[in-house]
């Protein structure tokens, strides 16, 4: 297995989406407005240090925590230090010109890539890794659900 440092805009996109999920959970207790995404019960707890002064989850703090997770995996693999990010945080745009399904597939793809980059023994006990796996699984389930609805499939029938 090899590890690379993910591009900052990739991590920023993931961080912004996580902040959206967490703020939805934090404010309403449910994932309102985020259809058919489910995450592990400890998902919110993993990002508890990423809140702003108002108690909202801060995408930039999440970005920094995720980038540090990636850097930890990289350093443990190659013994090289990683420079601090120089880019200013740029929030992602919801869906852009894509359909919701296309956007979710693209997001799943980068989350899957990012989990792979962070899943090193140095991060074995880091709750952020478990949270990322939960997000990856939640996105995969949402994509499968959307495809099932789009194809008008009946439950339990091929």
Neighbours of 11 (CB within 10 A): 25
Q: What's the pLDDT tens digit per position in 101-135?
A: 788 899 999 999 999 999 999 999 999 999 999 99
Q: What does pTM read for this prediction?
A: 0.86
15-46 CB burial, b ≥16 within 10 A, e <16: bbbbbbbbbbbeeeeebeebeebebbeebeeb
Cα Rg of the chain (Å, integer) = 16
CB-CB contact of 138 with 111 (8 Å): no
| Beta carbons of 24 and 30 less than 8 angstroms apart | yes
What are the C-alpha distances in Å from 121 to residues 5, 96, 158? 16, 36, 40
CA torsion 123-61-9-34 (nearest 10°) is 90
pLDDT at 149: 72
């Amino acid at each position: 297995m090899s590890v690379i440092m993910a591009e900052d805009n990739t991590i920023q996109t993931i961080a912004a989406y996580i902040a959206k999920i967490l703020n939805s959970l934090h404010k309403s207790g449910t994932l309102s407005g985020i259809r058919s995404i489910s995450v592990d019960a400890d998902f919110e707890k993993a990002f508890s240090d990423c809140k702003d002064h108002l108690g909202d989850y801060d995408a930039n703090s999440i970005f920094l925590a995720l980038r540090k997770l990636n850097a930890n995996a990289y350093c443990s693999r190659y013994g090289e230090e990683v420079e601090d990010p120089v880019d200013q945080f740029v929030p992602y745009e919801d869906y852009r010109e894509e359909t919701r399904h296309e956007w979710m597939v693209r997001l799943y793809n980068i989350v899957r890539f990012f989990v792979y980059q962070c899943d090193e023994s140095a991060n074995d006990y880091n709750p952020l890794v478990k949270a990322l796996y939960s997000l990856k699984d939640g996105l995969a389930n949402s994509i499968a659900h959307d495809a099932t609805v789009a194809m008008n499939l009946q439950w339990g029938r091929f």
